[in-house]
């Protein structure tokens, strides 16, 4: 059985990663997790997760991605129960229908955190709660979020929400609470356990497959190939934030 105390202590003392053995008790030696176990589950700097949204495949009347996100992350019920107004209820992902002003063509697509390479929300956060993981996922560390909302001022995509009221019965994988800011985290707990984000799964199950998920750093991944092959756009490309979420046929 693992001895967490030893591991925690070792890691706190910064001797953990390099050590290969650890003494549990006199005479009892345990192989510690040095390279392999840790590397296999850590957010991988060699990857950058992203989404490619094909607006031509997105059905204007379908909101399955939004529903799946709500179920997975446990948001949205507060507004449905009428506790908070629509203005104050969280919105991790939203559907928009657009009409080209010059041609009149209508398209629909979901908008969520764009997981920028140069995220303004991370730049402006005074405490470092708004952060980008090694694998490119942008998210809020609610442990040190003070609820100043400066990240919401800085986000060009209105991707972030502030929790306006107390919450109970959260999903374990999605802790969220009053007074902190939240947004799409690309289902980081799912990715960490080798699963695709909930919206991607829902879109596929709905038969649209409008959201393509994958590793942008891997030139052989389907998303990289598709980006190379087809014309795609980044929202607010003028800001040069290099978002990890891209749109095609918009």
Partner 1 sequence: MRLVLAFLAVIGFAGGAAADGTGPVVPAATGDPHPEGSDYWRIHHMDMLKHDRDLTMRDGVRDLSPDDLAINASIGECFDCHAVKDEAGDYVTFADDRHFCRVCHDYAAVTVDCFSCHRSTPSNESAVAYRTMAGPEDPSSIEAYLSRVAQEMNE
Partner 2 sequence: MAMEQTIYRELKATPGVWQLAALLVAFLAAAGGAWFYMEHHGHVVTGMNNQIVWGLPHVFAIFLIVAASGALNIASIGSVFGQTAYKPMGRFSSLLAITLLVGGLAIVVLDLGRADRLIVAMTTYNFTSIFAWNVLLYNGFIAVVAVYLVMQMMRRLDYKWVKAAGFVAFLWRLALTTGTGSIFGWLVARPGYDAAIMAPMFIIMSFSFGLAIFILVTLTLFKLNDRPFGDQLLIRLGRLLGIFAAAVLYFAIVFHLTNLYATEHGGYERFILLNGGIYTVLFWGVQVVLGGLIPIALVFLNPSRSSTILASILVVIGGFAQVYVIVIGGQAYPLDIFPGYEVIEGFHEGVVNPYTPSIWELMLGLGGVALALFAAGLGAKVLRVLPTNLSDANVAAKG
232 to 44, 54, 235: CA distances (angstroms): 26, 9, 10
Phi/psi of residue 17, nearest 5 degrees: -60, -35
- Chain residues 87-126 in contact with partner 2, contact rule CB under 8 A: 87-91, 94-102, 106, 108, 111, 120, 122-126
Least distance in angstroms from the C-beta of 244 to partner 1: 15
**Least gap, CB of 115 to partner 1 (angstroms):** 14
Say whether 33 sits in a helix, a strand or coil: coil
| 56 part of the interface to partner 2, by CB under 8 A | no
Stretch binding partner 1 (CB under 8 A), from 89-97, 139-147, 231-239, 240-248: 139-147
Residue 76 in contact with partner 2, rule: CB under 8 A: no
Selection from 93, 74, 88 nearest residue 168 by Cα: 74
- State which H helix or E strand residue 69 sits in: helix 64-73
Angle at the Cα of 106 from the Cα atoms of 63 and 66, rounded to 5 degrees: 15
Residue from the set 180, 183, 224, 248 that interacts with partner 1 by CB under 8 A: 180
Helix (H) or strand (E) holding 25: strand 21-25
* Distance of alpha carbon 119 from alpha carbon 121, whole angstroms: 5
Question: How many chain residues touch partner 2 (CB under 8 A)?
Answer: 59
With respect to partner 1, which residue has the nearer C-beta, 158 or 222? 222
Q: Segment 169-188, which members bind partner 2 (CB under 8 A)?
A: 178-181
Interface with partner 1 includes 86 (CB under 8 A)?
Answer: no
**Pairing of the two strands 49-54 and 211-215:** antiparallel
Total Cβ atoms within 10 A of residue 84: 14
- Going by the DSSP 8-state scheme, the letter that residue 43 receives in this structure is P
Tell which positions 186-205 bind partner 1, by CB under 8 A: 188-196, 200-201, 204
Report d(CA 223, CA 193) in Å as an integer.
Answer: 20
Chain residues binding partner 2 by CB under 8 A are: 60, 83-91, 94-102, 106, 108, 111, 120, 122-128, 144-150, 152-158, 160-166, 178-181, 235-236, 239, 250
Summarize as ranges the residues that interact with partner 1 (CB under 8 A).
Answer: 1-8, 11-12, 30-33, 36-38, 40-43, 72, 131, 133-135, 137, 141-143, 166-173, 175-180, 188-196, 200-201, 204, 209, 212-214, 221-222, 225-226
């Amino acid at each position: 059985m693992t001895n967490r105390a030893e591991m925690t202590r070792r890691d706190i003392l910064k001797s953990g990663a390099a050590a290969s053995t650890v003494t549990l008790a006199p005479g009892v030696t345990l192989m510690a997790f040095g390279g392999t176990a840790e590397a296999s589950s850590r957010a991988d700097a060699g990857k950058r997760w992203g989404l490619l949204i094909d607006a031509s495949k997105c059905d204007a009347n379908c909101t399955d991605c939004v529903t799946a996100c709500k179920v997975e992350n446990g948001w949205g019920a507060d507004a449905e129960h009428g506790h908070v107004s629509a203005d104050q209820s969280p919105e991790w992902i939203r559907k928009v229908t657009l009409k080209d002003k010059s041609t009149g063509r209508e398209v629909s697509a979901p908008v969520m955190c764009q997981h920028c390479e140069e995220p303004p929300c991370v730049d402006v956060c005074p405490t470092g709660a708004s952060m980008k993981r090694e694998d490119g996922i942008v998210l809020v560390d609610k442990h040190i979020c003070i609820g100043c909302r400066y990240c919401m001022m800085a986000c060009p995509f209105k991707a972030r929400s502030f929790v306006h009221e107390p919450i109970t019965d959260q999903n374990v994988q999605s802790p969220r609470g009053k007074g902190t800011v939240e947004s799409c985290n690309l289902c980081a707990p799912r990715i960490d356990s080798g699963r695709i984000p909930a919206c991607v799964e829902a879109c596929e199950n709905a038969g649209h497959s409008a959201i393509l998920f994958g590793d942008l750093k891997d030139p052989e991944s389907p998303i990289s190939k598709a980006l190379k092959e087809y014309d795609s756009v980044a929202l607010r490309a003028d800001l040069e934030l290099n978002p990890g979420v891209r749109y095609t046929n918009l």
